[in-house]
Amino acid sequence: ITSSLVGIRTIQGAEDEEGPYVLKLPFIRFERPNQWIGPDGGIVVDIEFDPINKNIAYIGTWGGGVFKSYDAGQIWEPSSKGLGNLYIESLAINPKNTNVVYAGTHKGKLYKTIDGGQTWTYSSAGIQDEAIVYSIAIDPVSPNRVYIGTRGISNNGGPPWNGVVYKSTDHGDTWRPSLSDAGGPEEEDWAYSLEVHPKATNLIYAATHEHGIYLSHDFGDNWEPSNTGITNLTARAVVADPKSSLPKIIYMGVWTRSGVFKSVDAGDSWSMTSDGLVEARIYDMTIDPIDTDTIYLSTFDEGIMKTNNGGDSWKKGGLNSYDIYDVAVHTGNNQILLSGVTSGGLYRSTDRGINWYLSQKGLTTRSITGLIVDPYDPKILYASTLDKGVVQTVNQGLSWMDFSMGLPDDPIYQLVPHPLDAHFMYVLTQSSGLWLCMVGTESCWVKIGGDLPSSTLTEPVFDADHPFATREAMDWVQFEDLFTERLTLAVDAHVPLLDLEIAPSDSRIFYLATAGAGVQRSENSGASWDPAGLDGLHVWSVAVDRMDPNTVYAATNQGDEILVTVNGGQNWSEIPLEGKLVYDLIIPEKDEAQVLAGTSDGVYRYDEQGWKQLGLANIQVTKLAYHPTREGVIYAGTASGAYVSMDDGVSWLFGPPELDGITVQSIVYDPHLPERVYFATKNFGILKANVTP
């Protein structure tokens, strides 16, 4: 690499006795412009319309930060400068000065903008460490008063939860605890939802995880349970009717399938109002600001549910096959709705929910788990997504189309080309097994390997600390019962499939890494499978020796080692690598080393002399890829960017710079252009990069 292409990037490492050390690495300056090419979409957790500038809307995404729209949600642009945490849980707009917006994060406390999202600053003085900010409520009369519902570091995932409602009286500059003992000192439950009553702002409502409604009559100074008539205390959402003549009408939705409770006396007593609700799990509630008898429920299992008569009866409101995080109503035209779903991105309706369509132009926060460049046409790419099937572009990412015809609606963990013909593609799913597409055939996707093990998984595929962890894993307390219930009810659910490797010396022999059923082996190109050991483990990666199809290496969730078999999985032995988690394994093409490992502490090479660290210490290396035609060139994707070595790991250069801070999930070289590399990322889509050696 010429010196004109190299700069310096500073990395701060862990602290030692003399303080944090600083490592300075060169990085590549790419000669051609690198380009983010989509696809559009992502996980939208919260949506807020501006109550004054009514066509302005903000969305909080999971891992992609905040986006802003100026045309009521048709086109989006990033609005995250200054955010130190891009996992957004909640948003709130100051109703009197709508340039002021608050963003609550996952374990990163609270941020605030005073310029309409151009820049954000940390606004968390007094808030507990690692606070998850589930809800933000602003006093509409005195917006200097702000309340947030948080959960801090709990007791190994159990109570006491360190749930605290905080109050600020200075626009979020400082905070003090307001409610910290919901359910008693042994519980310290937390609030998923807060509501300041718009007609009587001394009344504050908190919908708590397992203890129903807590109510304050004095601006949050004192609280007490207010659950008379409530028969299910798993509260998730609370809203007040802003137009009721007195502060009377309140609605509360619950998680464990009891529906909605309504109060007509400001929360002193409640009655169930769930006619038409089919045991829906309610995640959020939205009241129409113009027609307050209309309420939208964001549910899991039942899509959007809707009432037009103040909760007397409920009916379907669209997006029936989706789990819904949020629904927002345009503050000036209640025909316009926006909805964020757990898979598939952001939807928009212009007829109060009768019809919905995707509305996510500019929203590029999708998690891409695999990528294939068409072997015959470099303009054609195929990408697997964690949220919504497989997509295809025929113009190098200018536009994308669905390519999931026949695939189940299931998270995809990998998209793998056959090494002899990339028009044979394999999809690895969370619970629907293994699928094969022969590009050009009419049906394309067909299920193969029906004898793969069924799933008995009762925990996330990737734990919360894994770089590929999903929202469910990162907030397992919130979603555990849903995950377990769906597993129990699932018919023919297969074990999650995490990695597929085809033996280089015998393309009929396949190995599958699974979450819970160890390694599976096929000798007939995936038509049938047999167990190959390591049952019960989450196998994150496998690598097959280039000459011997029976020699296989495996990285698992056990850590401290990799495992190797020399007899096709009949027996496995340990190769210790103490103190490390191994995320990815590859076999060197022309090297005496047996295997390279991407770990929680950089890159390691194993040969007959044992392990040797090749660099990137203290960096989580998630993906490794040798260049197919340039000897000694290795790319390393990490939880915070990418690096390249031109000398077989002796030294590393940081780049592309666009990936700084971003988790890389897959690295693919363009077979048509040796200098082009594609990076599939978590929450940021695909980066097309060009590097000249």
**pLDDT tens-digit profile of 632-683?**
899 999 999 999 999 999 999 999 999 999 999 999 999 999 889 999 999 9
Pairing of strands 224-225, 235-240: unpaired
- Name beta bridge partners: 536: none
State percent of the chain over pLDDT 70.
94
Cβ 499 vs Cβ 415: under 8 Å: no
Place of tokens 């003992």: 181
Domains of the chain: 364-614 (2.130.10.10)
Mean pLDDT on 309-318? 96
Place of tokens 């309420």: 295
Mean pLDDT on 574-599? 91
Per-residue model confidence (pLDDT) at position 3: 29
- Closest Cα partner for 538 from 570, 499, 595? 499
Per-residue pLDDT tens over the stretch 385-402: 998 799 999 999 999 999
Q: What is the distance in angstroms between the CA of the first residue and the CA of the last residue of the chain?
A: 5
Lowest mean pLDDT among 259-268, 444-453, 583-592: 583-592
Mean pLDDT on 513-528? 97
Cis peptide before 576 (omega within 30 of 0): no
At residue 519, does pLDDT exceed 60? Answer: yes
Lowest mean pLDDT among 195-204, 435-444, 506-515: 435-444
Cβ 61 vs Cβ 365: under 8 Å: yes
For 260-271, give one letter per residue: b (16+ CB within 10 A) or e.
Answer: bbbbbebbeebe
Per-residue model confidence (pLDDT) at position 602: 98
- Name beta bridge partners: 435: 427, 447
Distance of alpha carbon 348 from its chain centroid, rounded?
Answer: 21
Burial of 651 (C-beta count, 10 Å sphere; 0-12/13-18/19+): middle
Cβ 507 vs Cβ 466: under 8 Å: no
> Which residue has better confidence, 7 or 383?
383
Per-residue model confidence (pLDDT) at position 384: 98
Per-residue pLDDT tens over the stretch 208-224: 999 999 999 999 999 99
Mean pLDDT on 187-201? 97
The span from the CA of 666 to the CA of 637, in Å, is: 7
Question: Which two three-digit tokens encode residue 82?
Answer: 């200054």
Say if pTM beats, i.e. exceeds, 0.85: yes
Per-residue model confidence (pLDDT) at position 692: 62
At residue 422, does pLDDT exceed 70? Answer: yes
How many angstroms separate the Cα of 105 from the Cα of each of 134, 148, 226, 263? Answer: 8, 11, 28, 31
Question: Which two three-digit tokens encode residue 365?
Answer: 């926060």
Per-residue pLDDT tens over the stretch 71-125: 999 999 999 999 999 999 999 999 999 999 999 999 999 999 999 999 999 999 9
DSSP track, 379-446 = T-EEEEESSS-EEEESSTTSS-EE--TT--S--EEEEEEETTEEEEEEEEESSS-EEEEETTSSS-EE
The span from the CA of 415 to the CA of 9, in Å, is: 32
Cβ 193 vs Cβ 207: under 8 Å: yes
Per-residue model confidence (pLDDT) at position 89: 98
- Name beta bridge partners: 437: 425, 445
Lowest mean pLDDT among 361-370, 451-460, 682-691: 451-460
- Name beta bridge partners: 337: 329, 349
Which amino acid, one-letter code, is at 232?
Answer: N
Question: Which two three-digit tokens encode residue 402?
Answer: 């669905």
Average pLDDT of the chain, as a whole number: 92
